[in-house]
Amino acid sequence: MLKSKIKTIFLAVSISVIAASMIAFPQQSLDASIRGLNMWWKIVFPSLLPFFIVSEMLIGFGVVKFIGVLLEPLMRPLFKVPGVGGFVWAMSMASGSPSGAKLTARLRQENQLTKLEAERLVSFTNSSNPLFIFGAVSVGFFYNSHLGIILALAHYLGNVTVGLVMRFYGKSEERTSKIKEKRVSIRDAFSALHRTRIKDNRPLGKLLGDAVMSSIQTLLMIGGFIILFSVINKLLFLLGVTAFFAGFVEIILGMTGINGMLSMPFISGLFEITMGSQLTSQVKDSTLLHQIVIVSFILGFSGFSVQAQVASILAPTDIRFKPFFLARLLHGLTAGIYAMLLWKPIYLRFFNTEKPSNALPAMNRLAEEGTKLADYHFMLAGAGPVITLVSLMLYITIYMARIGQKD
């Protein structure tokens, strides 16, 4: 009872301080809000919407079940999740956070995953997509496309490590009945696909409309969280909270041999990965290795903004958030360690040159090899608002049509 009352007081005081701070710093709050809106409007919405819609369609048509049957012999022994987890893992790596949580929650609602399997799966299917790692972070922030290889390897190896560790999660709660090992059969996979499609008897138009509605609703929620945490991050900096905690982080970083100047970017990255990665790249007094280790941790931890999005997506299900949060800590730590271990044998051996990493913005070297991902990233940013606007108009049209049918 006392713990509950303390939590209530803490939450009430926190939100009151945030509200008062927004009144005290209106211009800074507006600027941070616009920054978050631009990120969602230009990048997040247009990049995630196609993946969300296609994923919903694949689940409805039974294709995910088909893939699940084929991947069962791989996913079950390695990660103790059904084969459909392979589809979620692939889609999460391609589209980025929080698509893994959305697909896991969807499959849990359809009982294709048990509660424990869903908690294991969502823990290691949270990742940044290659476009963000190579285009935005490596080229956009560090002006060095080769760094993307180290960041991507550290990030995805960390994901695999989390999955292998999480296979032991919930062992005491799990039923002891053994699952029969079956040989992979294309015939069984097609049978599962057909049964799933028949079970979901929605017409094509209804299925497509539901996919669009569900995807846009999720993305609107994600946009709200991005804007909110952009403002909170700025307010914490203005109130001196970031600097206060950075003092403690500086001591910890000093104990590990990492430059203490990276403490402020590290704290910012705990809230929002884009801002944290950008600030880390701007610390000139630090070595490039230390910067990459910090960015690897930030990408693995995912930031409280992404974690809040995941918590909201998981809320309608019985999937617990705590395992996901602990997995993010593990992912951040392992990604940082992998970045340190891979630095000498890969980056220094194959990609290091005498030129400083920020000698010339790689995004301006359009003809050079290795900048195509960055070009695509900025092209998407240019076309993003149009895609977002058209999608929102489509959402409103479908929503109004369904209201008219009910009347």
Residue 316 CA from chain centroid, whole number: 19
Peptide bond into 98 cis (omega under 30): yes
Between 112-116, 171-175, 216-220, 288-292, the lowest mean confidence (pLDDT) is in 171-175
Encode pLDDT of 166-178 as tens digits.
Answer: 999 887 776 655 5
Whether the pLDDT of residue 48 is over 70: the answer is yes
Q: How deeply is 21 buried, as exposed, middle or buried, from its count of CB atoms within 10 A (0-12, 13-18, 19+)?
A: buried
Q: CA–CA separation, 273 vs 138, rounded Å?
A: 13
Give pLDDT, residue 219: 87
Q: What is the pLDDT of residues 66-94, one digit of tens each?
A: 888 888 888 888 999 998 888 898 888 88
Which of 271-280, 341-350, 366-375 comes out lowest in average pLDDT? 366-375
Claim: this prediction has a pTM higher than 0.85? no
Task: Say how far apart CA 52 and CA 309 lie, in whole Å.
Answer: 15
Task: Report the pLDDT value the prediction gives residue 323, as an integer from 0 to 100.
Answer: 94
CA 257 to CA 199: how far, in whole Å? Answer: 58
Name the amino acid, one letter, at 106: R
Binned at pLDDT 50, 70 and 90, residue 375 comes out as: low
Lowest mean pLDDT among 23-32, 146-155, 363-372: 363-372
> With bands split at pLDDT 50, 70 and 90, how would you rate the model's confidence at 366?
very low
pLDDT of residue 326: 95
Of 77, 62, 344, 301, nearest to 193 (Cα)? 62
Q: How big is the CA angle at 111 (ends 110 and 113), to the nearest 5 degrees? A: 120
Give the C-alpha separation, 385 to 46, whole Å: 8
pLDDT given for residue 378 in this prediction? 58
pLDDT band at 308 (very low <50, low <70, confident <90, very high): very high
pLDDT-derived band at 2, boundaries 50, 70, 90:
confident
Cα separations (Å) of 227 from 41, 46, 89, 320, 348? 11, 16, 27, 25, 38
| Degrees to nearest 5, angle at CA 230 with 99 and 246 | 105
66/194 Cα distance (integer angstroms): 9
| Token pair 């590990």: residue | 256
Could you identify the residue written with the tokens 């914490």?
236
Instruction: Rank 44-53, 66-75, 241-250, 357-366 by mean pLDDT and report only the highest.
Output: 241-250
Average pLDDT of every residue of the chain: 83
Read off the pLDDT of each residue in 106-110 and give the average, rounded to a whole number: 90
Alpha-carbon Rg for the chain, nearest whole angstrom, is 22
State residue 372's pLDDT score. Answer: 55
pLDDT for 317: 92
Instruction: Please report the pLDDT score of residue 368 as a whole number.
Output: 41
Q: Count other Cβ atoms within 10 Å, centred on residue 74.
A: 13
Proportion of the chain above pLDDT 90, given as a percent: 33
Buried b (16+ CB within 10 A) or exposed e, 300-322: bbbbbbbbbbbbbbbeebebebe
The answer, yes or no, to whether residue 5 has pLDDT greater than 90, is no
288 has a pLDDT exceeding 80: yes
Query: Quick check: 385 pLDDT over 60?
Result: yes
